[in-house]
Amino acid sequence: MDFDDIQNAWNSEKTGEIMIPNHVEKIQSASMPLTHIKKSLKSESYLQIFFLVCGLVPVFIKFNMNYLMLFYVVYFISVMVSGYFLIKIKDFYKIVNNKNISTKDNLYETYYEIKLFTEVYKIISIVSIPFGFIYMIIIPLGSKTEKVMKIIEGIQNPEILFIGLIIGFVMWSTGCWFLIKAHAELFYGKYAKEIRKVIDELKEE
């Protein structure tokens, strides 16, 4: 059979509609969660940058010099935490942005990278909880010292103030913990589950 015979035989076949394998469609469907995750990472970066700008608070308000040093000590530590988190966000964004999910193995790697980043996000957020509470105390003390001190002086029993701070911190930490879990699930965990679902469906084929 020469080339012309082969070509005629090829053209005579019913080509019909080209069908894409089902597993390919499923793998491609995992790209949508990655798009949402990249948007979340960008928003997370802007939020961390906003926290860094909060160091300018004493510039815009009349801040008492007695609390200025304490404010910037806490701010310096929180900057280190935020800076580390920004590096993690940048590294994870590169992984998600450059990840080729055309195979099952790459899909597995992407899934576990998302799970790992979600845990990193939770840990860093939990570490940041005390800083937020300290800011809530330092900023009022530094900006409105006289009014706040009158309230504190009005409390005759120091134990009441101490217990109040402990209760306030527990309530603050509990609220932040639930918010952190909800945020991690909404912006990362939910999409990790979608990718996991695709992986499980591919196993069944």
Q: How far apart are CA 91 and CA 86, in angstroms?
A: 9
Instruction: Identify the pLDDT of residue 70.
Output: 85
Look over the chain and give the mean of its residue pLDDT values, rounded to a whole number. 79
Average pLDDT over residues 4-24: 46
Q: Summarize pLDDT for 25-81 with one digit per residue, the tens.
A: 666 666 788 888 999 999 999 988 888 887 777 767 777 777 788 888 888 998 899
| Burial annotation 3-16 (CB, 10 A radius, 16+ → b, else e) | eeeeeeeeeeeeee
Contact call for residues 198 and 26 (beta carbons, < 8 A): yes
Domain boundaries, the chain: 23-204
Radius of gyration of the chain (CA): 27
Q: Summarize pLDDT for 122-161 with one digit per residue, the tens.
A: 999 999 999 889 888 888 777 766 666 666 666 667 787 7
pTM for the model? 0.77
Long-range CB pairs of 184-190, under 8 A, 24+ apart, other chains included = 184/118, 184/121, 184/122, 184/125, 187/36, 187/37, 187/40, 187/44, 188/37, 188/40, 188/114, 188/117, 188/118, 188/121, 189/118
